[in-house]
Amino acid sequence: MKQVEIFTDGACKGNPGPGGWGTILRYNGREKELSGGEALTTNNRMELMAVIEGLKALKEPCSVTLTSDSQYVCNGINKGWAANWKKNNWIKSDKSKAKNPELWDELLSLLDKHSVRIIWVRGHNGHPENERCDRLAVAEAEKFS
């Protein structure tokens, strides 16, 4: 199974507001940057989109180390929150509706195809790939400003 690294970040000018996401994929010494955005979105949606688009870019099942500065994404996966929300028809333990269920559902499906290890890093703390992803995301958000 191919070993791939994926680095992700999302950004939003206002929350909600114009947003962007950035992703770096690294395999066998080569890198590919992906990015995109939306005119009206939230930071959490952009964080999810960065992960989704990174995983969608993989053409076969891979062993992935995914690095994100989003506790929403990392905890949603690592702590099983998203899987529980789905199992409970997108209702959280406090009985409120889970946000972004369509994105979480897509992400959970992608996670089933790959072996993914999630690593959280503090944002804006000098992590080189996280800083690059942030620049990609901010540039995409600015296209809508």
Q: Residue 36: what residue type?
A: G
- The three-class DSSP label of residue 18 is strand
CA 82 distance to own-chain centroid: 13
Active site residue 112: no
Which residue of the set 38, 53, 69, 140 is catalytic? 69
Specify whether the CB–CB gap between 57 and 22 falls below 8 A.
no
Active site residue 124: yes
Specify whether the CB–CB gap between 24 and 9 falls below 8 A.
no
Which residue of the set 10, 20, 22, 76 is catalytic? 10
Which residue of the set 14, 33, 124, 142 is catalytic? 124
Active site residue 94: no
Which residue of the set 38, 53, 129, 134 is catalytic? 134
Specify whether the CB–CB gap between 7 and 129 falls below 8 A.
yes
- The three-class DSSP label of residue 108 is helix
| Residue 98 DSSP symbol | P
Active site residue 69: yes
Q: Residue 27: what residue type?
A: Y
Which residue of the set 20, 22, 37, 47 is catalytic? 47
Would you name the residues annotated as active-site residues?
Answer: 9-10, 47, 69, 124, 134
